């Protein structure tokens, strides 16, 4: 699902396997409340192992990248069905990741948080998934964040989810980066909970 051709050097397209390293890099470089969090991780792939790469593997049809002159500068990944996605994480992704990190030794607090997350089965509550079965993550490098590119990427994802019949979508906002909640509000997302992350949601089909 590609955007129409235009004269702009910035395009949105479906992620390809060759984009995975760039997606992992963008994830860590935006992991500290939108800023570069590389210094917090011994292995820079760790945040992307949780919040980006599994979506690309599980539902590539909803994994989009934003490129500038052919360089991947941002991504938006989603799953139309959070429950099915979490089933897959438990059955396939977490076991595989545990094996991948079997000899990894945590050296930082963030390393430890990632390892703890992998060991702890966490499910999204049914009162969220019933009205808002989909969820998404979006990240852009700082140098591409101006100019409406984030809006274009999010709109592209929401249109894709709507066309596939998804009734509602939710996302989480780090409470230390609460200012970005205003961005999602412009698209009709409203706060529904704090866990302590800010949980925002939007109905796509009424």
CA atoms of 98 and 16, how far apart (whole Å):
24
Q: What is the mean pLDDT of the chain?
A: 95
CATH number at residue 137: 3.40.630.30
Share of the chain above pLDDT 90, in %: 88
Position 6 pLDDT exceeds 90:
no
pLDDT tens per residue across span 108-143 = 999 999 999 999 878 999 999 999 999 999 999 999
pTM of the model: 0.94
Report the alpha-carbon distance of residue 199 to residue 171 in Å, rounded.
6
In a domain, 4, yes or no: no
Q: 3 lies in a domain?
A: no
* 129 part of a folded domain: yes
Is 2 within a domain? Answer: no
Once rounded to an integer, what is the mean pLDDT over residues 162-176? 95
Asked if residue 196 has a cis previous peptide bond (ω within 30° of 0), the answer is yes
Residue 1 lies in a domain: no
Q: How far is the C-alpha of 45 from the C-alpha of 59, rounded, in Å?
A: 20
**Distance between CA atoms of 100 and 54, rounded to whole angstroms?**
14
pLDDT at 8: 79
How many domains are there within the chain?
1
Band of pLDDT at residue 7, cut at 50, 70 and 90: low
Instruction: Tell whether 67 is covered by a domain.
Output: yes
**What is the mean pLDDT of the segment spanning 24-49?**
97
Asked if 142 contacts 177 with a C-beta cutoff of 8 angstroms, the reply is no
Q: What is the pLDDT of residue 118?
A: 94
Instruction: Tell me whether residue 133 is in a domain.
Output: yes
What does the DSSP 8-state code read for residue 89? I
146 pLDDT more than 70 = yes
Q: Do the domain assignments include residue 29?
A: yes
pLDDT at 200: 98
Q: How confident is the model at residue 1 (pLDDT cuts 50, 70, 90)?
A: low
Per the structure, the complete domain to which residue 101 belongs is given by 10-203
**Low-confidence winner among 9-13, 34-38, 175-179 (lowest mean pLDDT):** 175-179
pLDDT for res 196: 84
| pLDDT over 70, % of the chain | 97
């Amino acid at each position: 699902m590609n955007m129409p051709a235009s004269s702009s050097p910035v395009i949105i397209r479906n992620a390809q396997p060759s984009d995975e390293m760039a997606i992992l890099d963008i994830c860590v470089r935006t992991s500290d409340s939108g800023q570069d969090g590389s210094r917090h991780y011994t292995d820079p792939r760790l945040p992307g192992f949780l919040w980006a790469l599994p979506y690309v593997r599980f539902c590539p049809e909803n994994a989009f990248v934003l490129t500038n002159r052919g360089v991947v500068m941002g991504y938006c990944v989603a799953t139309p069905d959070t429950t099915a996605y979490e089933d897959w994480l438990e059955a396939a992704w977490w076991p595989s990741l545990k094996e991948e990190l079997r000899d990894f030794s945590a050296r930082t607090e963030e390393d430890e948080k990632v390892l703890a997350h992998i060991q702890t089965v966490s499910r999204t509550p049914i009162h969220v998934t019933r009205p808002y079965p989909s969820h998404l993550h979006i990240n852009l490098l700082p140098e591409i964040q101006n100019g409406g590119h984030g809006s274009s990427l999010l709109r592209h994802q929401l249109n894709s989810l709507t066309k596939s019949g998804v009734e509602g979508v939710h996302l989480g906002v780090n409470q230390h980066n609460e200012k970005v909640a205003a961005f999602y509000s412009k698209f009709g997302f409203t706060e529904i909970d704090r866990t302590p992350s800010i949980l925002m949601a939007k109905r796509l089909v009424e």
